[in-house]
Amino acid sequence: MLARYCMGGSIKRSFCGSFKLRLYTWFFSLSLNFFLTISLHHQIFLQREKEREKLTMAVSRKWACMFSAVLLLLFVGVMPTTSGTNGGISALTRSVETEKVQSSSNTTMAARSQEEADALNEKAVADNPEEVVSMVEMSIRNSTERRRLGYFSCGTGNPIDDCWRCDPNWQKNRKRLADCGIGFGRNAIGGRDGRFYVVTDPSDNDPVNPRPGTLRHAVIQDAPLWIVFKRDMVIQLKQELIMNSFKTIDGRGVNVHIANGGCITIQFVTNVIIHGLHIHDCKPTGNAMVRSSPSHYGWRTMADGDAVSIFGSSHIWVDHNSLSNCADGLVDAVMGSTAITVSNNHFTHHNEVMLLGHSDSYTRDKQMQVTIAYNHFGEGLIQRMPRCRHGYFHVVNNDYTHWEMYAIGGSAEPTINSQGNRYNAPVNPFAKEVTKRVDTAAGYWKNWNWRSEGDLLLNGAYFTPSGAGASSSYARASSLGAKSSSMVGAMTANAGALGCRRARQC
């Protein structure tokens, strides 16, 4: 009809032309609006899809975290219960003898052969000591930052002590100590991953069949154990105390003496921490049967009478002990032992303090790496602080207040890196030298790498350096950053066994 109408006169044709233009414009506008509306809805749809996807991912992460937490709680629920106090955990002494080791990580615990020990010790050697130093310094910085935030309220500059001693709840967090190691023995975890064992009985009546509740019964077990003491006690061992792997002896909070008999032997094992003991007046023992694990005992020849004897072992940490007056050495490490830290100990009244290296001809000790840090070498000492062979030795931030012959000696081309120590020479004018090359001509030892860096030399003390100063050699004898020798007094003021008490900073 519209077509016929528009075929009329010019007026009608003009009207129809205008109408068609409006119609086309309206149609185009409608189409454009429709297209824009569809596009807008599409964009909204895509945006909502993205938000829905983000929400889904967030919910998924939340459920994953909740599921992980549930698994963790279930896992913790089946783990052995540990306690920071001595009460309520001594029941382990009745059951630990029959406990089976389930974790494959502990399959090396009872390594008794020389070959197995050598394999463990080779793995323990620090191939990249610069990385060791970096890790230790990072740990120290983290501890320092926590103190700055108010987490701790004390600090001495001693990185081991500052790591745990400022905590008034140290007794409930005993195992924190295992994360505070420094130097070459920093990875010694001891019994961190095991239960507590409370020593309630100081006797040692039968070294072959030790009574539950005794120290000997604790240290021979195959499972990791953190060994503590119920009360003050003096333990007189009939024979040397042969330790199994993954053990911590923790004497904090009580006064424990191992004295007047056999003392501690760490032989062909790994991951041992000795902390907070008084060890003195150790005697030669042996020519007897002694148990070394729940499944093995054997004949022991004569032991020398060392306070702590480390033999073919690795990842060993001897910390905050008071050691004196033993038949042979106070700490001896021989026969390929390595990854050792001797720290915060107080040595007194002894002749040959510390031997590191079996003999000049025993070349397996070339892999030995030992850190000696924050110790006080005190009254009545004569020599060997330490006496080294073959390996790499970092002597750092120790306080040497007494010696009668010399402080640091060696043979068989050891590398000795002395940094930030305080050496106070004796009155004797013929004993002022810190160092001694034992039974070696000067034409030979002049090539050994011995250096003194940042040491404080008092009362006429002098250190005789040698060697070309090869950086690679000193790198293998570096295990942590030395602090200024001016801080040695503060850092070693509490060397030796500590008088820790509950609910107080130790």
Side-chain half-sphere CA neighbours of 130 within 13 A:
4
Which among 332, 313, 309 is positioned nearest to 123, based on CA atoms?
313
User: How many Cβ atoms from other residues are within 10 Å of residue 108's Cβ?
Assistant: 16
Helix and strand totals (H; E) in the chain: 10, 31
List, as one string, the DSSP characters of 400-415.
E---SS-SEEEESS-E
User: How many Cβ atoms from other residues are within 10 Å of residue 366's Cβ?
Assistant: 18
Give rounded-to-5 percent helix, strand, coil for the chain: 30, 25, 45
All residues at 6 or more sequence positions from 25 whose CB lies less than 8 Å from its CB, including other chains: none
Distance (Å, whole) CA 184 – CA 372: 9
Distance (Å, whole) CA 456 – CA 461: 9
384 annotated active-site: yes
Which among 173, 172, 227, 171 is positioned nearest to 199, based on CA atoms?
227
Assigned token pair, 367:
């892999």
User: Does residue 80 have a cis bond before it (omega within 30 degrees)?
Assistant: no
C-alpha to C-alpha distances, 105 to 108, 188, 441, 480, nearest whole angstrom: 7, 14, 47, 28
Q: Which of 300, 384, 389, 476 is catalytic?
A: 384
Asked if 134 contacts 182 with a C-beta cutoff of 8 angstroms, the reply is no
Side-chain half-sphere CA neighbours of 46 within 13 A:
5
One-letter amino acid at 48 equals: R
Distance (Å, whole) CA 267 – CA 327: 19
Asked if 470 contacts 447 with a C-beta cutoff of 8 angstroms, the reply is no
Q: List, as own/partner pairs, every contact residues 139-142 make where C-beta atoms lie below 8 angstroms and the sequence separation is at least 24, other chains included.
A: 139/163, 139/182, 140/481
Which among 390, 406, 412, 407 is positioned nearest to 477, based on CA atoms?
390
C-alpha to C-alpha distances, 39 to 27, 178, 271, nearest whole angstrom: 18, 64, 68
Residues with active-site annotation: 384
